[in-house]
Amino acid sequence: MVSRLVLVLGDQLNAGLSALREADRDRDIVVMAEVVDEASYVQHHPKKIALVFAAMRKFAKGLRDEGWTVRYSELDDTENAGSIVGELLRRAEETGADEVLATEPGEWRLISALKHAPLKVHLLPDDRFIASHEEFETWVEGRKQLRMEYFYRDMRRKTGLMMEGDKPAGDKWNYDHDNRKPAPDEVEFGGPMQFTPDETVEAVLDLVEARFGSHFGELRPFWFATTTAQARRALTHFVKHALPSFGDYQDAMLNDNRFLYHAIVSPYLNTGLLTPLEVCEAVEAAWKAGDVPINAAEGFIRQVIGWREYVRGIYFLEGPEYPQRNGLDHSRDLPDLYWGGKTQMNCLARAVEQTREEAYAHHIQRLMVTGNFGLLAGVHPTQMHEWYLAVYADAFEWVEAPNTVGMSQFADGGVIASKPYVSSGAYINRMSDYCKNCAYSVSKKTGEGACPFNLLYWHFLDRHRDRFEGNPRMGNMYRTWDRMDADRRETVLAEAADFLKRLDAGEKV
C-alpha cells in the first residue's frame, strides 16, 4: 500500500491533530518543514519564528519517539524548497506518495495553496477548537448582529464550563464589570514562567539570528515554552500565582510591569502546545477549589471559549478578502514609531518597546494604545493588520485579522464591533500610569503639550460624522462635541491636523 504524506504545520503542534488521527503510523509519513515563505510573508518577530521552529523540532522528535516516520526540513537544508507545497512535492517525489492528509490551516493563503497543489490533498477539519465552522454558521443564521456575548453563552452550554445545570455559575453569564480596575500600586506576581533555552532552542536561535536578524524585534533573551510539557507548567504557574488577581486587573497597564497578572499562554494555544479545553478546565478547577474568584475564572474562560472561538468563526465566515477590508477608507501609512521610531507619547513608546523586546503586549495595549492611535490617525488598516501579524508571538491570521480589522480598526464596517473603539487620553490615564511619564499632558485638551489622543479623538469623530452620528452608542459623543464653543472646535481640528501633518513628515511627535 502506497504511503500518504501527513502535513503538520507550525501552529498545529498537537498529538490529537485530525491529520495524525486519520493517518496510519505504520505506513504514512509525516512532513514538517521550516520554510522561508512562512517565515517572511510578513516580517515576523524573530522571537515568533524561533518559538515556532524550536517547538516544531521538538514536536517532530516526539513523533519519532512514538514510532512515526518523519521527514523534517530545517530552514538551512540545501534541498529545502522554501514553501509548504514545494516541500510536499519534494517528499512526494522521494516517497512515491500522491496523497496528503492535512488539517485545515488557519490562513486562507495556505488553504488556497494546498487546494491548488498538484497533489491530492485531503483537508480535514481542525477540531482542536470548540466550535466547528458549521456550528458557527448555524449560530449566525437569522441574526442581524453577530455579538460575541450570545455565542459565548452557547459555548458555555456546550462545554459545561462554569455551568450549574442550565444556568451559569452565580446566575450571571458575565462578570466583566468587575474586571476593569485601574493599575494597582503593587503587583504581587513575578511574571510568566520562563524557560532557559536548551541545545535545540539555542541552535534555532542561532539560525534565526543569522537569517532574520534584520526583522523588527529582539531575539534574546528567549524564554518561551517550546513543548507541551513546558506550556502546561507555565499554565499551572499562572493559575496558582496570578489567576486570582487576573480578572480585577486584566485591563490595567504599568510602565514598570509588562505582564501584571496575565497568563501569556496564547502563543502556546495558537501553536497547538495547549488546547482551549485543557486551559479552561484548569481555570475552572481552581475556581471550584475556592482558590480563584468567579470574576477571574469567568473572565479568563470568556476570552478563550468566547472571544477566541468567535473571532475564528468570523474569519472563516467572512472569507479570504476579510483582512483587506477598509470600511472607513483610511489611507495613512503606518508611522515609523510602530517600528521603534522616536515618539514623545509615552504610552505608545512603552507598548512598542515591549512589543520589540517581548513579542507580546496584552489586549488593552493592543486595542486602546497602538490600535486606538492607528484608528484615530487614519492609518490604512491593512498596514495595521500586517504589523500586528508580524510583531506578536501569538499572531496567526485567523485570530489576528478579526481582532485588528474588525475590533481594533473598525475596517469591517461593524461586523464585530457595534462602534469604533476610540478614546481620548483619559482612558489610558485611568487604566495606567503611562501619562505620569509623558511629555504631553493628558489634562490639556488644546495648546502646547496637549495630549495627541485628545486632539485626534475629536478629529476622528468630526471627519466620520456622517457615518457614526446616528449610532446609538455614539450620540453622547457628538452632543458633547456640538456643545463646545465653535472657536474651540476649530482649534481642536486645526491642532489635530497639524499633528498629523508632522506625523506624515516623519517628525518626532
Strand partners, 379: 332
Nearest of 329, 319, 460, 343 to residue 382 by alpha carbon: 329
Burial class (CB in 10 A: 0-12, 13-18, 19+), 498: exposed
pLDDT at 458: 98
- Cα–Cα dist 271/252, whole Å: 26
Gyration radius from the chain CA atoms? 24
* pLDDT above 90 as % of the chain: 97
Strands 163-164 and 167-168: antiparallel
179 pLDDT higher than 90 = no
Contacts of range 487-493, beta carbons closer than 8 Å, 24 or more positions apart: 488/446, 489/458, 489/462, 491/446, 492/445, 492/446, 492/455, 492/458, 492/459, 493/458, 493/459, 493/462
| Three-state DSSP class for residue 404 | helix
Per-residue pLDDT of 129-144, as tens digits, reads 999 999 999 999 999 8
pLDDT at 3: 92
Conformational region of residue 133, where left means phi above 0, alpha means psi within -120 to 50, and beta covers everything else: alpha
pLDDT at 178: 84
185 pLDDT higher than 90 = no
Per-residue pLDDT of 11-59, as tens digits, reads 999 999 999 999 999 999 999 999 999 999 999 999 999 999 999 999 9
pLDDT at 408: 98
Q: How far apart are the first and last CA of the chain?
A: 66
Of the pLDDT bands very low, low, confident and very high (cuts 50, 70, 90), residue 183 is confident
Secondary structure string (H, E, C) spanning 309-377: HHHHHHHHHHCCCHHHCCCCCCCECCCHHHHCCCCCCHHHHHHHHHHHHHCCCCHHHHHHHHHHHHHHH
* pLDDT above 70 as % of the chain: 100
pLDDT at 315: 98
Burial class (CB in 10 A: 0-12, 13-18, 19+), 409: buried
- Which residues are CB-contacts of 274 (< 8 A; sequence separation ≥ 6)? 228, 231, 232, 235, 265, 268
Burial class (CB in 10 A: 0-12, 13-18, 19+), 356: middle
Conformational region of residue 395, where left means phi above 0, alpha means psi within -120 to 50, and beta covers everything else: beta
pLDDT at 152: 97
- Cα–Cα dist 428/453, whole Å: 9
How high does pLDDT run on average in the chain? 97
110 pLDDT higher than 90 = yes
Which option is the CATH number for 336-504: 1.10.579.10, 3.30.360.10, 3.40.190.10, 3.40.50.10070? Answer: 1.10.579.10
Per-residue pLDDT of 435-476, as tens digits, reads 999 999 999 999 999 999 999 999 999 999 999 999 999 999
pLDDT at 177: 86
User: To which CATH superfamily is domain 5-124 assigned?
Assistant: HUPs (3.40.50.620)
Average pLDDT over residues 220-246: 98
Please give the grid coordinates belonging to residue 138: 448555524
Specify whether the CB–CB gap between 182 and 430 falls below 8 A. yes
Strand partners, 74: none
Average pLDDT over residues 492-502: 98
Query: For the chain, what are the domain ranges?
Result: 5-124, 133-191+242-317, 336-504
What's the pTM value of the predicted model, to 2 decimals?
0.96
CATH class of the domain comprising 133-191+242-317 = mainly alpha
pLDDT at 371: 98
268 pLDDT higher than 90 = yes
1 pLDDT higher than 80 = no
